[in-house]
Amino acid sequence: MIRGIRPSLGPRSAHHNRTPIIHPTGTPPKLLMSQNPYAPPNAPLADAPEAPPPLPRPVQVRWAVALLSVSLALSVPSTYLQYLRGPRVLADQVALAVTLMLLVLLAWVYVRIYRGRNWARIVWLVLFVLGVASYFFPEVGVRPGAAERGLNLVSLLLELVALYLLFSKPGTLWFRRPLA
């Protein structure tokens, strides 16, 4: 008989009469860890290094976001004037709803710019370039009124100044800092 194994005396005796298996050398193997298998490993613990203090938001970025907010506020009456100019058909109402959703999206991007997200600054740059293209190349057959053109021009000038402030030296350095 092999040490530690009993011959089976039938299904009942094999199930109820188990004997412990004894190691061939007669002693249990040494454990590499502590005797408690649930104890944590013995590793040195230390606090994480402190993060450097966050850089203060440059004045240029605060001014740029303020200018963008004013430009966004000017877009609301401009959109309303554009809506009044056209016939009241379902397509115009859908276009108005889409425009208002885009204004909400722009407001969200402006908040992200204020919080220092570089991707938001790049998204706004792309949207600005597309907006400038639509300013100089309007829809065929559409002639905006003087008030609408004035609001659009002021909005464009505000966004140009904001563009300079966001992409000039202090703003660029602040957007490229590591986020905590």
Q: Mind listing the pLDDT tens digit for each residue in 53-87?
A: 677 888 999 999 999 999 999 988 887 777 777 66
Instruction: Name every residue whose Cβ is closer than 8 Å to that of residue 133 and which is 6 or more positions away in sequence.
Output: none
Tens digit of each residue's pLDDT (9 = 90 or more) over 113-124: 999 899 999 999
Is 23 contained in some domain? no
Q: What's the mean per-residue pLDDT of the chain?
A: 78
Whether 115 maps to a domain, the answer reads: yes
Residue 92 placed within a domain: yes
User: Where is mean pLDDT largest: 30-39, 68-77, 171-180?
Assistant: 68-77
Q: Is residue 12 part of a domain?
A: no
Structure tokens at 62: 């605060």
Residue 3 belongs to some domain of the structure: no
Regarding pTM above 0.75, the answer is no
> Is residue 33 assigned to a domain?
no
Give the domain range for residue 137: 59-175
CB atoms within 10 A of CB 12: 9
- Answer whether residue 109 is part of any domain: yes
Give me the number of domains the chain comprises: 1
Are the C-beta atoms of residues 86 and 127 closer than 8 Å to each other?
Answer: no
140-150 confidence digits (pLDDT tens): 666 777 888 88
pLDDT of residue 23: 58
